[in-house]
Amino acid sequence: GAGVSQSPSNKVTEKGKDVELRCDPISGHTALYWYRQSLGQGLEFLIYFQGNSAPDKSGLPSDRFSAERTGGSVSTLTIQRTQQEDSAVYLCASSLGNRGGGNTIYFGEGSWLTVV
């Protein structure tokens, strides 16, 4: 498809397990973002990739969270030793260039993570 694709769409995992969430950005988009939305909360920035530059990881909530982007395209968000408070919708987005400004960012449908 032409949009941002995320998988899995739903994931239920046991506390303490590791999970990987995948994002395929729109073709040609150099910027990729991860956000999450917990129940009753707004969108929380996690990490930002722009081309070959070092990612901005300032939003990652703990060292259990990491993300990588291979070949400037697909990204994987990894959560190690999941906790119940990690339950949220994890949204990936991409844009043509610099964050914000005149470049609209396009979101995927999200990966719904439930930690039991």
Tell me whether residue 57 or residue 64 sits nearer to another protein (CB atom).
57
Look at the block and give the residue holding tokens 């291979």.
Answer: 70
Tell me whether residue 43 or residue 74 sits nearer to another protein (CB atom).
43
Contact 112, 52 (CB under 8 A): no
Q: Which of 1, 70, 104, 116 binds another protein (CB under 8 A)?
A: 104
What are the structure tokens assigned to 7, written together? 């998988």
Q: Indicate whether 107 belongs to the interface with another protein (CB under 8 A).
A: yes
Tell me how far apart the alpha carbons of residues 20 and 76 are, in angstroms, rounded to a whole number: 6
Q: For residue 40, which amino acid is it?
A: G
For residue 106, the tally of other CB atoms under 10 A from its CB is 17
Q: Indicate whether 90 belongs to the interface with another protein (CB under 8 A).
A: no
What are the structure tokens assigned to 86, written together? 């990690």
Interface characters, 15-54, with another protein (x: CB under 8 A): ------------------x-x----xxxxxx--x------
Q: Indicate whether 108 belongs to the interface with another protein (CB under 8 A).
A: yes
Task: Choose among 113, 2, 96, 92: nearest CA to 45.
Answer: 92
Residues that bind another protein (CB under 8 A): 4, 33, 35, 40-45, 48, 56, 58-59, 91, 93, 99-102, 104-110
